[in-house]
Amino acid sequence: MNKELIVKRLFWIIILVLVCVCSYFIMHNAAWLLGDDCQSIIYTGWDKPIFGFFVDPSLGRFFPLDYTIYDILCLFYDGRIPPSAHYFMHVLGFILFVGSFIAISFYILKDAKYWYKYTITLFVIVLAVGRSYALFVECWTGIWTIFAFLALFLLCHVKFINTKKWIWAIVGLLGLNYILYYYETMFVIPLSLGVCALAFSYKRMDKNDKIYNGLLVASGLIFLLLYAVLVLPKVEHFYSHHIDVSPLMNAAKMFYAQKIMWVALVFLLYRIYLFVKKRAEFNLYDNLLLASCAYCCGAAFLGLNYVLYYIPGVLVAIPAILYFSNEYLKNTGTIILFACLAIFYGRLIPKAIANNQKNRVSTYNNIQLFIEEIGDNNVYFYEVENPELEEWELDVRSIHRFYLETVTGWYMNDKGFSIERKIVFNGEPGLWQVVKADQESFVRLFPSAEELVDFGEYKVYRVSHEPSHIILEDTTTVSLKER
């Protein structure tokens, strides 16, 4: 058996083990969590197709196709759809994601020596999976769909630019246009790719290139047109409540959080230097670098302060970093760079598994206990009015009730399960839920209450009989009759 065959088989064995282990933990202990999973449950958890998920346009949000991929499950189920079915779709998306990045790496390194090609590709996969895996094991957003179809688009984009075969362009554009309507910032990628290619490479393009890049520009502009017509007139404020620092400080904070973008920026600045000195021509991978940085800048401009919003930009940068490191750092430098990136991001894979498994098991157990304790009790959500809070802040606070109500209702197989909102404690017996309450003050308010379940942010108390008074402060007692 020759050395190349041994290395090849070893590579595929490691990849297969990685994919199988990661896929197993996507499915293992599949459960709904107390969070934005409720968006999935309220529609597809009840075998109800979802289309046009819009969110409040006053916040500047517009992602009508988010979660729609789960509609496929409605073809196979009648009634409740379990979370395991949803997570099986995540597994399929994860396999597509890994396969696409393997193909991209192989294509970029097609002329490299076999041992180098397989080694670097393994590092690329660990890097890509480590950066994105935490979203594949969650069911509170459709961003995992973005990762899968964006990886497919990147493969198709690279293949079309080099082969001019329209099958690649068609598949890539279909996948890309689907995920454009998952997050508002996604339009930056096709728009940047198309505009920059036409601006810097127009004279060297053939007819197919011009048509293809024109379609990329059109994809971004159509989204912007729909956004301008359907959302912009209704916007009251954008993502301003996402951050508590200046936009510039937020951008710096997010750039620091995305270590791989440091590498992308170094290559981008070096390539700009070469252009200025007229030592290089604009190519496909320069375009990917620009699109990656443009996407991250757009997310920072909107004030998005969660790392997950920047991951699509990181994924777009990976093929470009691979190409330019192979070009300028050669074998040794590229191995060192990608080994460091793989170690840094690969450590996130077991962390994501451990955190997710813990959350799944603990949430499921707590919900089952909550269901057992409900019995014939009424359930209330105690929410003191605060005139100083803005409407969106009240909505965010109340969504905790929505989480518990939706997840509990699904496990009870009761679509009508509800938790009544109370702004005044009236002493009614039942289970009272409070969000982010200090335990001592809550017990003072509820003299007859005993703590039932502590969900961390959620505290649920049982009121067994009507108290005759409420202790508002240490020295203040108010009779319920007087109120």
Sign of CA dihedral 82, 415, 375, 472: positive
pLDDT of residue 50: 82
> What are residue 378's phi and psi, to 5 degrees?
-80, 150
Per-block average pLDDT, block size 10, for the chain (483 residues)?
90 98 98 88 87 72 89 90 96 98 97 95 98 94 95 98 96 97 93 96 93 98 94 75 65 83 95 92 95 91 82 96 95 95 96 95 88 86 66 66 90 90 78 66 61 60 68 51 44
Q: Is the dihedral of CA 194, 198, 200, 204 positive or negative?
A: positive
HSE-CB at 74 with a 13 A cutoff on CA atoms is 16
**pLDDT given at position 13:** 97
pLDDT for res 44? 87
User: Do residues 322 and 285 make contact, with C-beta atoms less than 8 angstroms apart?
Assistant: no
Residue 246 main-chain phi, psi, to 5 deg: -65, 155
Cα–Cα distance for residue pair 302/206, rounded to 1 Å: 36
What is the pLDDT at residue 170?
97
What DSSP string runs through 375-412?
A: TT--EEEE----TTS-HHHHHHHHHHHHHHHHHHHHHT
Quick check: 341 and 127 in contact, CB under 8 A? yes
Q: H helices then E strands: how many in the chain?
A: 16, 7
Helices (H), 109-187: 114-136, 143-163, 166-179
Closest CA to 322 of 76, 119, 46: 119
Contact between residue 129 and residue 349 where contact means Cβ atoms under 8 Å apart: yes
Residue whose entry in the numeric block shows the structure tokens 């157990």: 365
Report the interhelical angle of 114-136 vs 83-108 (nearest 10°).
Answer: 150
pLDDT number for residue 474: 47
Q: Find where tokens 């990045």 sit.
A: 101
> Nearest CA to 195 among 177, 174, 221?
221
Q: Are strands 379-382 and 430-435 parallel, antiparallel or unpaired?
A: parallel
**HEC string of 173-203?**
HHHHHHHCCCCHHHHHHHHHHHHHHHHHHHH
